[in-house]
Chains A and B, each alone.
Chain A
């Protein structure tokens, strides 16, 4: 087992990108640093991934067009007409930040949920509590999940209620989220490795590709 310090991570990733950056390599997702945007409020708890994208829309074999079916059954009636009372159909609200209630993203491991959110145009989801698998999936596709305190979440919802265009600033390098109008701010957690990936647009596979030999030796020693 090898311990690697944060500062070495950068070099390892840089090394690992060598072989595959020879050919023009598409960046897995856009880099994330500082985002200032208005936000879309969804003040419900336990928003599960079956709501984010229902199973019947998982039949594609490519990662395309999932944004159209984001929150499909909350957003559209059975006859495909928009439901006027759902927030995504309300022209008052827009922006690159989605603010959800507690336990956001519970349920199925479908990464399609994160793809749908990204494809729709969100780059950041704010909640007071995320389900584990969703959180991983989000980071892996370039969406920043920001966990705030329940009190700060309430403040955000209040700010948006007061002014639908209220802006939030999410500063990843500083690990802070700020309600622009009031200046109220809170810091959030993210591990150094994942932060580095998001800021640079790297992903885990880049890192793991550089470990092939080490992994090969490990595999050879497994009993089965």
Chain B
């Protein structure tokens, strides 16, 4: 290697290239592969029809999350198709000797929550999963991205993936986030600035004061949403916070291996003068609590602002009109004060302990609005236990909320947690596409604080009123 200044992304990518194909992709070695019940069954069928096995079963980790119920998990799964997928995951992982945290397992939870929580995700790794929000793991300075089922099969068969190297983008936010402005707001703000496709073809590094000062949970929220700006993934250089988070986790390296690992991880940062293909810089002071009003995550704005006029958005006029029509909104209306029906706190974006702490900080001593149905879904059993231990459950219960059991839930509405047609949901998840949270459902993406304020008032409310 030369002494050329190098980006964090290049350092990690280049360390994993097994072979470069001229006029073709790189063959990239994958350290960690997460699988779940929905995108893996066909991959295992593929292995069988080829008559090949899993090359390194100890590098793949399975959890059931996308399609699991969030109540009565001790009962048999009622939907026969869902039950069938869960069974297939159990059978396939047992057959090939892959670790499996199925429904009911104490480590079970959303794949992108349990990976970091258990020290499976580490800095400098390459990590893939058949879910686009795999970008979450980039918070640890890993290259992590979502893949399709053919690629799941590829990784099972060869522990490698064929990928052209993406271009590099750096997004810097300096300054300090204001009161009531959360990591979710920072990332929704970025997406509203560069659009839902603004980072397509790029891998993003987040830099600057805001991300340096952010907790690991917050960094995960930001990296999680990278895909919503079109990026394959996003990453943040590991630092003392990263090491402190990982130290002592079940699968983190121990003893001397830990010391060696930290010494290596400390080299994982972008060198002064290293080049990016594209850079954006923002000022934290410009960011207020955000909310989306349309049907892609780029259609969002500050909560006190009005819905933009068609002429001021990047999307085409036809798509924008369709989007507002679906949402039942009009140009130039205020978003504040819009009546809502549902609140969803959860998902791999905002289903971690800090998100529940934030939500509780607003609802404490107040009452849920009668007209609001609230689904509060922890990202994992470990988060669920923390919610109880920290007394958050008591606060929630007193305010009229109930806690559900871990899973993806209304993030993609594959199980029974579907927002009914025409209803409005303030959701802490990551996608507001048409029908994403149920056929005809209307989603407003926001932070846990905005979700909490909406749950209390029954309408879109600036959470800063309650802080």
By a beta-carbon cutoff of 8 Å, the part of chain A in contact with chain B is 1-6, 9, 20, 23, 25-26, 43-46, 48, 50-51, 54-56, 58-63, 73, 78, 101-103, 106-112, 114, 129-133, 136-137, 140-141, 191-194, 203-205, 207-209, 211-212, 214-215, 218-219, 222-224
Within 8 A of A (CB), among B37-74: 38-39, 41-42, 45-46, 49-52, 55-56, 66-67
With A55-B413, A78-B439 as contacts: A109 and B38 at CB distance below 8 Å: no
B414-A193 in contact (CB<8A)? no
Find out whether the CB atom of A4 lies under 8 angstroms from the CB atom of B232. no
Contacts of A193 in B (CB 8 A): 21, 23-25, 162
Whether the pair B27, A101 counts as a contact (CB closer than 8 A) is no
Give B66-108 as 1s and 0s: 1 = Cβ < 8 Å from A's Cβ atoms.
Answer: 1100000000000101101100100000000000000000000
Partner of A215, one of B31, B39, B41, B158: B158
Find chain A residues with CB under 8 A from B39 CB. 58, 109-111
Residue B383 at the A interface, CB < 8 A? no
Q: Is the CB of A133 within 8 A of B148?
A: yes
A and B contact pairs by CB, cutoff 8 A, 21 listed: A1-B20, A4-B24, A50-B412, A59-B85, A59-B414, A62-B45, A101-B319, A106-B296, A108-B412, A109-B147, A109-B148, A111-B150, A132-B201, A191-B24, A193-B24, A208-B160, A211-B18, A215-B18, A215-B55, A218-B29, A224-B31
A133 with B132: CB separation less than 8 A: yes
Please indicate the chain B residues that have their CB under 8 angstroms from the CB of A211 in the complex.
Answer: 18-19, 27, 158, 160
Query: Are the C-beta atoms of A59 and B67 separated by less than 8 Å?
Result: yes
Residues of A within 8 A of B153 (CB): 205
Inter-chain contact B45/A51, CB cutoff 8 Å? no
A218 to B260, CA, bound (A): 19
- CA–CA, A17 and B161, complex, Å: 18
Assess whether B315 is in contact with A46, with CB atoms less than 8 Å apart. yes
When distances are taken between beta carbons in the complex, the residues of chain A under 8 Å from B164 are 191
Return B119 CB to nearest CB of chain A, in Å: 10
Question: Given the complex, which residues of B lie within 8 Å of A60, measured CB to CB?
Answer: 41, 81
Known contacts: A78-B439, A114-B148, A132-B230. The answer to whether A3 contacts B20 by CB under 8 A is yes
CA distance A97 to B130 in the complex (A): 27
A23→B435 contact, CB < 8 A:
no
B435/A51 in contact, CB under 8 A: yes
Residues of A within 8 A of B18 (CB): 1, 211, 214-215, 218
Residues in B with CB closer than 8 Å to A194 are 24-25
Interface residues of B (CB under 8 A from A): 17-25, 27, 29, 31, 38-39, 41-42, 45-46, 49-52, 55-56, 66-67, 79, 81-82, 84-85, 88, 122, 125, 130-132, 146-151, 153-154, 157-164, 166, 196-197, 200-201, 227, 230, 232, 253, 257, 260-261, 264, 296, 315-316, 318-319, 322, 412-414, 421, 431, 433-436, 439-440
Minimal Cβ-Cβ distance residue in A for B124 = A223
B25 partner residues in chain A, CB cutoff 8 A: 191, 193-194
B38/A111 in contact, CB under 8 A: no
Check A132–B232 contact: CB distance below 8 A: yes
CB distance from A64 to the nearest CB of B (A): 10
Alpha-carbon distance A9/B23, docked complex (angstroms)? 10
Residues of B within 8 A of A58 (CB): 38-39, 66-67, 414
Contact B148 A73 (CB under 8 A): no
Known: A103-B230, A133-B148. A215 touches B159 (CB 8 A): yes
A117 to chain B, nearest CB (A): 13
Q: CB distance A103 to B84 under 8 Å?
A: no
Which 5 A-B residue pairings sit nearest by Cβ, starting from the closest? A193-B24, A111-B148, A192-B23, A137-B148, A59-B81
Q: Is the CB of A107 within 8 A of B132?
A: yes
Contacts of B46 in A (CB 8 A): 205
Given A50-B436, A141-B150, 11 further pairs, Cβ under 8 A: A23-B51, A46-B196, A46-B296, A55-B412, A59-B79, A60-B41, A73-B435, A106-B296, A109-B146, A208-B154, A224-B31
Q: Which of B29, B131, B197 contacts A103 (CB 8 A)?
A: B197
State whether A61 touches B85 (Cβ < 8 A): yes
Could you tell me if B52 and A209 are in contact, using CB atoms closer than 8 angstroms? yes
Which residues does chain A contribute within 8 Å of B56, judged by CB atoms? Answer: 219
- In the bound complex, how far is the Cα of B230 from the Cα of A109, in angstroms? 11
A110 to B408, CA, bound (A): 15
Query: In the complex, are the beta carbons of A205 and B50 less than 8 A apart?
Result: yes
| A73 and B439 in contact, given A4-B22, A45-B316, A224-B31 (Cβ under 8 angstroms) | yes
CA distance A129 to B158 in the complex (A): 31
- Determine the chain A residues whose CB is within 8 A of the CB of B319 once the complex forms: 44-46, 101
Chain B residues with CB under 8 A of A219: 29, 56, 159
Q: How far is the CA of A212 from the CA of B148 in the complex (A)?
A: 22
B403 CB to closest chain A CB (Å) equals 23
**Residues B147 and A26 in contact, CB atoms below 8 Å apart:** no
Task: Tell me the minimal C-beta distance from A196 to chain B in angstroms.
Answer: 8
CA distance A56 to B164 in the complex (A): 32
Check A133/B146 contact, CB under 8 A, given A20-B52, A44-B318, A208-B160: yes
Which residues does chain B contribute within 8 Å of A61, judged by CB atoms? 41-42, 45, 84-85, 88
Known: A62-B45, A211-B18. A133 touches B196 (CB 8 A): no
> Are B414 and A55 in contact, CB atoms less than 8 angstroms apart?
yes
Cβ–Cβ < 8 Å partners of B440 in chain A = 73, 78
Q: Is the CB of B20 within 8 A of A207?
A: no
By the criterion CB–CB under 8 Å, are B52 and A111 in contact? Answer: no
Q: How many angstroms from the CA of A59 to the CA of B322 in the assembled complex?
A: 29
Chain B residue nearest to A23 (CB atoms) is B51
Minimal beta-carbon separation of B268 from chain A (angstroms): 13
Complex Cα gap A111–B45 (Å)? 15
Determine the chain B residues whose CB is within 8 A of the CB of A130 once the complex forms: 200
